[in-house]
Amino acid sequence: MSGDNGGRAQDGGSRRATGWAEVVRLRTLPAAVAPVILGAGAAAATGDLVVVRTLLAAGVALALQIGCNLANDYSDGVRGTDDDRTGPPRLTASGQVAPGVVKLAAFGCFGLGGLLGLVLVVLSGQWWLLAVGAAAIAAAWFYTGGARPYGYAGLGEVFVFIFFGLVATVGTTYVQADTVPGWLWPSACGIGLLACSLLMVNNLRDIDTDPAHGKMTLAVRLGEAGARRAFSTMLHLPLLLGAVSLVWARETGSASPADGGGHISPLLTLVIALAAPLLLLPLVRRATAPVRAGARGRDLIGSLRDVGLLELAYGIVFAAATVLITL
């Protein structure tokens, strides 16, 4: 059945207006700026927010996310992995655009991300971050590119967690505050798990066709039932981690060290720490509903979109809550 879906996807690609907008996966791009928003919230809580640096960090995140999506389109396309995929057809596999053009576009995005990152490094004076940026670009390419892509070995979630979770979040704070408060790490881990859930549901959608092309993703290795459980965990655990960050931030008093921390009472802090996850719970349930119901193939595309919105909401809600409790 999945093979038939893949064939129909390619045959009807042009009728569904498949093109660059679909390949860069607009529905997931909000997730790219979510860790930047969270990191900016932490910088604001410490009194170190610099808007220009936040915007540069967002530009880097978007450029790398789009570049990674284009690189995946190219690499999976030339390998034949996308020939039988159940999602929307890709540019390379469908033959709509020459592979070399897609590859050039990917490297163009990496170049733009590198340029914006260089400006950010110059402004912050943290030159060692150039190595981090180079590692991020390499990770984006070698996910499906190169002779031995790590995404084909089931390690995609590891690198997504590190670069689109931890590095994007704490890096945004660091280039503004020159430090990373300890309380930011739990919520940074939370947003990293949400980023991983995007990859998990995407790979769950193609779990039947990927093994035939040697793509042993984490979803394939866990099996369908295990992948569905992992996806649910990746959406629920961040709510707890975010709450931990809020309570920890209030206890350390990041914004007002002179008087022992903000002026929000411990009781109100607890209320906020409980309210923030509850605000996001409906989005979690919406994103997990198709997965819990056993949806397969194209029926999981809605979850992909909803997780992107959830991650964006997570960044906004916990950034705002952090600033509020440290006033």
Q: What is the pLDDT of residues 248-280, one digit of tens each?
A: 988 776 444 434 445 677 888 889 999 999 999
Model-wide pTM > 0.85: yes
Alpha carbons 312 and 324: distance in angstroms, whole number:
18
Start-to-end CA span in the chain (Å): 56
Alpha carbons 128 and 175: distance in angstroms, whole number:
11
More confident of the two residues 28 and 69 = 69
Q: Quickly tell me which residue has 């992995």 as its tokens.
A: 81
Alpha carbons 79 and 305: distance in angstroms, whole number:
26
Are 196 and 28 spatial neighbours (Cβ–Cβ below 8 Å)?
no
Shortest CA distance to 90 belongs to which of 78, 77, 100? 77
Helix, coil or strand: residue 159: helix
Q: What are phi and psi of 108, to 5 degrees?
A: -65, -40
180: pLDDT strictly greater than 60: yes
Alpha carbons 87 and 157: distance in angstroms, whole number:
20
Q: What are phi and psi of 148, to 5 degrees?
A: -130, 75
Alpha carbons 290 and 301: distance in angstroms, whole number:
9
- Give the angle subtended at the CA of 235 by the CAs of 234 and 236, to the nearest 5°: 100
218: pLDDT strictly greater than 70: yes
